[in-house]
Amino acid sequence: MTHRPVLKVENLQTRFKSVQRGKFVHAVDDVSIELYPGEIVGLVGESGCGKSTLGRTIVGLEKATSGRVLLDGVDLSTLSGAALRDSRRALQYVFQDPYSSLNDRQTVGEALDEALQIDGIRSRADRDRRTKELLDQVGLADVVKDRHTRELSGGQRQRVAIARSLAVNPRVLICDEPVSALDLSIRAQVMNLFLRLQKDLGVACLFIAHDLELVRQAASRVYVMYLGKIVEHGPSQELYDHPSHPYSQMLLASVPEANPIAERQRKVPLMVGEVPSPTNPPSGCRFRTRCPMAVDDCRQQVPPALKLSPGHDAACVFAKDLHRGKRSALLEADANAERVGALVPS
């Protein structure tokens, strides 16, 4: 992974006009991520933290307020019209809901054929051949081609949606919780399909999910997002073993144990309160309102991302302590104590 990133997102910001006059919802705020060819990268966080908006902004479904998206070193914001559509084609999106992401009026063959037409394949015979190939790649029988998409099951539809994304030979696939709408049994199948495709085709994959276990198994690197910002990023094994941002620690600690005895003894640090409104994000560190370790400094300035080990960084003033194993301080912190300036780990 020494080569150049295939997708580079620099200081991306997406905000929406709020219902309150003159205010903005800061859905994605100053986010930078990188994707290298052929890797699966996880993006985790609570609901409403801006994961999906980030994905949608990258593929251009939402307008970025500022920042750049570079695909193979080409800044997409400098392009427009047909040139933009042609370049952006290498960036595909897999939707969460396979029921609405396909047109009910089309058959599977028509849907794939249309994608191939968009990709500029003129000859009918070529398109038919490629359709067959794509169906084979996602593990669907050739007869499915003449079925209407509404006749298929959720898993089959998601396979068709994946095949359609692959039709245009993407370099990057952004998957927005692609399996969370599926049954558990189907989920594993579709996940394996993703792993196989990534291995066979070398497609880089940004995997947006809230299923932490899934991400741990699939992704080589993980970004943790909170309220529109990346709070921690690192190789997944390292990050799962040594979470170094209080938020990542709490997120990981909230995953229930499969073993009931271990589950009963498990200490769960209470995440106090609700996620603050992205319309009025807290000053400084965005997590400080819910963080048991927050100090005065957290209010004053946005904590910079601290490098902890190669490729692992966290945006917290205590990141280094936490990385060295100061987990207990957090777990034992009294959740009901006064938030700001109350607890300073020794």
Partner 1 sequence: MDKLKPIFARLNKFPRVALVVIGLFVALGTFAPWLAPQDPSAQNLLQGGAGPSVAHWLGTDHLGRDTLSRLIIAANTSLVSVGSVLIIAMTIGILMGTIAGYHRGWVDDLLMRVVDVGLSVPSLIVALAVIGIVGPGYWTMVLALALAWWPMSGRISRAVAVSIMSKPHIEALRVLGASPWRIYFGHLLPGTIGAVMVYATADAGTAALAVATLSFLGLGIQPPTPEWGQMLVDALPYLESDPRQVILPGLALTAAVIGFNTLGEAIALNRIPKPLTRRMLAMRRIEVAGWGKENSDA
By beta-carbon proximity to partner 1, the closer residue of 8 and 88 is 88
Q: Under rule CB under 8 A, which residues in 30-59 are in contact with partner 1? A: 59
Q: Which is nearer to partner 1, 166 or 308 (CB)?
A: 166
- The residue from 150, 196, 199, 324 that contacts partner 1 (CB under 8 A) is 150
Nearer to partner 1, 55 or 228 (CB): 55
Report the alpha-carbon distance of residue 294 to residue 313 in Å, rounded: 19
- For 256-277, letters b (16+ CB in 10 Å) and e give eeeeeeeeeeeeebebeeebee
Angstrom distance (rounded) from CA 284 to CA 297? 8
- Determine, following the binding rule CB under 8 A, whether residue 105 of this chain makes contact with partner 1: yes
168 binds partner 1 (CB under 8 A): yes
* Residue 101 engages partner 1 in binding (rule: CB under 8 A): yes
- CB neighbours of 106 closer than 8 A, spacing ≥ 6? 114, 148, 149
Query: Cα dist. 34→39, 43, 104, 337 in Å?
Result: 11, 12, 35, 38
Residue 86 interacts with partner 1 (CB under 8 A): yes or no: yes
Select from 23, 63, 85, 196 the one that contacts partner 1 (CB under 8 A): 85
82 in contact with partner 1 (CB under 8 A)? yes
Stretch that binds partner 1, among 24-32, 90-98, 133-141, 199-207 (CB under 8 A): 90-98
Q: By CB under 8 A, is residue 312 in contact with partner 1?
A: no
Q: How far is the CB of 55 from partner 1 (least distance, A)?
A: 10
Closest of 277, 282, 345 to residue 317, by C-alpha = 345
Q: Is 183 near partner 1 (CB under 8 A)? A: no
Contact 219, 207 (CB under 8 A): yes
Tell whether residue 207 is a contact of partner 1 (CB under 8 A).
no
Q: Which helix (H) or strand (E) holds 326?
A: none
What distance in Å separates the CA atoms of residue 98 and residue 100, rounded to the nearest whole number?
A: 6
Are 196 and 137 in contact by the 8 Å Cβ rule? The answer is no
Whole-number Å distance between alpha carbons of 185 and 237: 25
Size of the site for partner 1 (CB under 8 A): 30
Cβ nearer to partner 1, comparing 95 with 207: 95
What is the strand order of the sheet 74-75 is part of?
Answer: 24-35, 7-17, 66-71, 74-75
Of 93, 194, 247, 318, which one interacts with partner 1 (CB under 8 A)?
93
Q: Which stretch binds partner 1 (CB under 8 A): 67-75, 88-96, 182-190, 232-240?
A: 88-96
Of 26 and 89, CB closest to partner 1: 89
Query: Smallest Cα–Cα separation from 34: which of 80, 1, 78, 77?
Result: 1
Segment lying near partner 1 (by CB under 8 A), choices 34-42, 113-121, 233-241, 300-308: 113-121
Q: Does 61 bind partner 1 (CB under 8 A)?
A: yes
Residue 163 interacts with partner 1 (CB under 8 A): yes or no: no
Least distance to partner 1 from the beta carbon of 89, Å? 4
Residue 157 interacts with partner 1 (CB under 8 A): yes or no: no
Q: How far is the CB of 102 from partner 1 (least distance, A)?
A: 6
Geometric angle at alpha carbon 52, from 51 and 58, rounded to 5°: 95
Closest C-alpha to 162, from 178, 141, 186: 178
| Residues in contact with partner 1 by the rule CB under 8 A | 59-61, 82, 85-86, 88-89, 91-93, 95, 97, 100-105, 114-115, 118-119, 150-151, 161, 164-165, 167-168
